[in-house]
Structure 1
Amino acid sequence: MEQVNDIRSALPDPLEACVQVEVCQNPYSTLGKQPIKELVISLLKKHRRAYGDFLITEFEDPTLAEHVKSVAICDTELNRQDNQVIDLCRARLSVHVFQLQDEGAGSEELDDENLSAANHWILPAADFHGLWDNLIFDNNVKGDLIQYAATTLLFSDRKVDCNVISWNRVILLHGPPGTGKTSLCKALAQKLCIRLSDRYTYGQLIEINSHSLFSKWFSESGKLVMKMFQKIQELIDDQDALVCVLIDEVESLTAARKSSLNGTEPSDAIRVVNALLTQIDQIKKYPNVVILTTSNVTGAIDLAFVDRADIKQYIGPPSPLAIFKIYHSCLNELMRAGIITPVQQLLDMRALEVVRFIENDATRLSLRLRDIAIKSQGLSGRTLRKLPFLAHAMYIQNSTVTLEDFLSALTKVVERQFEERNSLEK
């Protein structure tokens, strides 16, 4: 066992488990990454200990104050199996310095049609900043995806023969609508670009609009697919770029393939889909590309595509524990914004477990939030994130509100959601 551990420790894995530190550099700063890294490491050693994720936005050091927007220790829960305190003086710190791009999304238009074939972002993008941290799941799906990317890069670096060991660089996230699949794909692309900022100068995210791939003149659709992947190929040819290709609602492609095979769609449709699958097979050989796909209707995806996915991860509705974490983060944000006032400490689920869910003055409101989370089971993550806004809009008349009154409003809006759902079903 010791020999195996020695071999693993010798592998130059850029995403390996250690203390991950993400440094957001000011957009106007021209200071090099290395001086910033050295100052950040010195800053963290002065803190000595960390008890989990935390964010620093104010700096005594004038150089950091001028050139750095924030320093974040992040994803500690993905790498630790217990509640041990992190010793920042002895820990191996992996510091990633990045600057956000604020240009927004560009658009690729279909020829002679007013339809968008794809959106693309230069990464890391301001549009996705903080998205990763706000995605909450019941299992360790985020950690699994990062480790998948690490193994993909390691095998490429070591030139593992893909004819002996096969991997396709394709991830498929499937499950009902509103569970965060597309957001997770975009957040993962952003996270990889930040974590690999020493390897790749920048990233590109290409989001393909599946519905627009099929022209009303099917004979033109094959040309469109080829043109799109020619553009993607140009991006991949730049070895300084990490290219993430996102195909949302991929079932719409494979459904068209099935219809063609059944004779209900023109034969051109199957040629378009086959062309798409062929292009995916061709670009997977490049080390700087990752293909991300989502599906709302798992049963509609045929095996030809499913077999290409290395990871087929189900993303379902959140459990009460995940719902509690979502509400917890929303309420903390409202307290930060001064809408819920005065600021009060809400215990997390781990702290409530320690006190065995016994109600007292310190735990009362946190336990009440837990009850609301249990009542909210069955709502999608997309809906849950809207409820704090709806609670204020419908049941609170003032610009500020106490935490207790807000929890009352949140209870009412949850009950209303289920009433509206029942009415729609009837």
Structure 2
Amino acid sequence: MYKINDLEDSLPNTPVQNIHVEVCQSPCSTAKKSQLQQRTESLLRNQRMIYGELKLTEFDDAFLAEHVKSIAVCDVEFEGGIKQAINMCHVKLFIHVYKLGMDGPGQEELDDEELAAANHWMLPSVDFDGMWENLIFDDCIKSQLLQYAHTTLLFSDKNVDNNIISWNRVVLLHGPPGTGKTSLCKALAQKLCIRLSERYVYGQLIEINSHSLFSKWFSESGKLVMKMFQKIQELIDDPNALVCVLIDEVESLTSARKSSLNGTEPSDAIRVVNALLTQIDQIKKFPNVLILTTSNVTGAIDLAFVDRADIKQYIGVPSPAAIYKIYLSCINELMKTGIIYPTQSLLDLQSLRSINFEKTDATHFSLRLKEIADGSYGLSGRTLRKMPFLAHALFIQRPSVSLEQFLNSLSKAVQKQLVDRDNLKNE
């Protein structure tokens, strides 16, 4: 991490804003990080003023053009959500340089077991590139998770006694299917590996296949969980690695022991829960591990596991405001690729609010999109991301389309989706 701290002394009465900059280095580049950080600093200082987040992919500087894929000014926060100009000469820059791994996931198999127990990525990975930026939520969920991860490191670095102040390095995201819980876990792992690239040489993401750890042999599942965590322990033992363990649909592993005791679940479920809780308690002492879990059915999770989760974050369906942002990002992508042509400007919600949603020629299409977003409330994030595709597939079927025609088709696709959903419920 490259920090520029000298501005605090020159501006003693001015609050200095922290700005994180992520520099994606070209795969074949052999340039030193320090060189890329210095060139990036010079580029951004010369920009003088920026408005919100910024991503650059083309550079006049020949050195940057040769060695850098992109430079992104990330996670810029504004007071009250109102965008303001940022003077790049009056901020503290944290410049993170990273390379994307091009390999896909490998599989972890347990000894003597014919099953794929987990998928395994080296991070940062091209598989998750851009995922963090494209996840849209209604509150500060993403920034809170980042702050949580940094606090776990701070407390470890300062040797805070875990017997006095307790934290378990466990995050639980829960809510209905399709709301982005699993994607958020993967994106968080990637983001942390980038932000902590000066501290950890590389990252590991282990996505445990919960269902595969239930053995076909009675009473073996608890042993399989222990074998899985033994493999994870081998990764954690490398202090140069940041290890993120993802347990999707964690209720599969933590079925309530109450059900087992009542005789409605096999006793094997008790062994699985006990094995999982024991392993979590053992690895929490390591500063380079984070356990990320998701659940669609929180009532089925063992309370002892829920109690161990430091963060228990509900992820619900997007609000109309979040839906508008999702649709806006989709339309901008279709304009960039030429499927929507010609390119036209759409206003963000903040700009619309600033003019009290006044109807003019300049706001016509933006207000039409807001109307569609309001009518899409109740659809999951996963479904919303499909709607532009379905709009084209069902109602356009041409290489390019005007913005007006696309918005009309999007409205039809949303109405069809809502009708189809209601029909499925009524069957």
* One-letter code aligned to 1:308: R
**What is the alpha-carbon distance in structure 1 between the residues aligned to residue 322 and residue 88 of structure 2?**
29
Quote the residue 2:250 is aligned against. Answer: 250
**What is the alpha-carbon distance in structure 2 between the residues aligned to residue 371 and residue 217 of structure 1?**
55
1:189 aligns with 2:173: no
Per-residue deviation, 1:257: 3.6
Structure 1 residues not aligned, in runs of 5+? 1-8, 10-15
Q: Deviations over 1:177-234 (max 9, x none)?
A: 0000000000000000000001000100001111111101133323321221111001
Q: Structure 1 299/391 Cα, relative in aligned 2: closer, same or farther at 3 Å?
A: same
Quote the residue 2:299 is aligned against. Answer: 299
**What is the alpha-carbon distance in structure 2 between the residues aligned to residue 129 and residue 79 of structure 1?**
28
Quote the residue 1:327 is aligned against. Answer: 327
* One-letter code aligned to 1:310: D
1:354 aligns with 2:351: no
Q: Deviations over 1:144-193 (max 9, x none)?
A: 10111111111111110101110111110000000000000000000000
**What is the alpha-carbon distance in structure 2 between the residues aligned to residue 127 and residue 284 of structure 1?**
28
Quote the residue 2:97 is aligned against. Answer: 97
Please state whether the residue corresponding to 1:219 is helix, strand or coil: coil
Contact 2:273 2:302 in 1 (8 A): no
Quote the residue 1:380 is aligned against. Answer: 380
Quote the residue 2:119 is aligned against. Answer: 119
Quote the residue 1:13 is aligned against. Answer: none
Q: Give aligned pairs, total.
A: 412
**What is the alpha-carbon distance in structure 1 between the residues aligned to residue 317 and residue 24 of structure 2?**
32
Per-residue deviation, 1:261: 2.2
* One-letter code aligned to 2:196: L
**Which of 28-37 and 127-136 deviates more?**
28-37
Quote the residue 1:132 is aligned against. Answer: 132
Quote the residue 1:179 is aligned against. Answer: 179
**What is the alpha-carbon distance in structure 2 between the residues aligned to residue 298 and residue 253 of structure 1?**
12
Per-residue deviation, 1:116: 2.3
Quote the residue 1:368 is aligned against. Answer: 368
Contact 2:254 2:302 in 1 (8 A): yes
User: What's the % identity of the aligned pairs?
Assistant: 69
Superposed, 1:8-407 pairs within 5 Å as 18-77=18-77, 82-110=82-110, 115-255=115-255, 257-407=257-407
Per-residue deviation, 1:398: 1.2
Q: Structure 1 158/17 Cα, relative in aligned 2: closer, same or farther at 3 Å?
A: farther
Alignment root-mean-square deviation, CA: 1.7
Per-residue deviation, 1:269: 2.8
Q: Structure 1 143/79 Cα, relative in aligned 2: closer, same or farther at 3 Å?
A: farther
Q: Structure 1 88/333 Cα, relative in aligned 2: closer, same or farther at 3 Å?
A: same
Contact 1:248 1:295 in 2 (8 A): yes
Contact 1:78 1:143 in 2 (8 A): no
Q: What TM-score do the two structures reach when normalised by structure 2?
A: 0.93
Structure 2 residues not aligned, in runs of 5+? 1-8, 10-15
Q: Deviations over 1:222-268 (max 9, x none)?
A: 33212211110011010000000011111122226443222234323
Please state whether the residue corresponding to 1:254 is helix, strand or coil: coil
**What is the alpha-carbon distance in structure 2 between the residues aligned to residue 400 and residue 267 of structure 1?**
59
Q: Structure 1 251/133 Cα, relative in aligned 2: closer, same or farther at 3 Å?
A: same
Please state whether the residue corresponding to 2:219 is helix, strand or coil: helix
**What is the alpha-carbon distance in structure 1 between the residues aligned to residue 111 and residue 260 of structure 2?**
24
Contact 1:17 1:79 in 2 (8 A): no
* One-letter code aligned to 2:172: L
**Which of 103-112 and 314-323 deviates more?**
103-112
**What is the alpha-carbon distance in structure 1 between the residues aligned to residue 108 and residue 50 of structure 2?**
45
Per-residue deviation, 1:272: 2.2
Q: What TM-score do the two structures reach when normalised by structure 1?
A: 0.94
**What is the alpha-carbon distance in structure 1 between the residues aligned to residue 95 and residue 79 of structure 2?**
16
**Which of 184-193 and 300-309 deviates more?**
300-309
Per-residue deviation, 1:409: 0.3
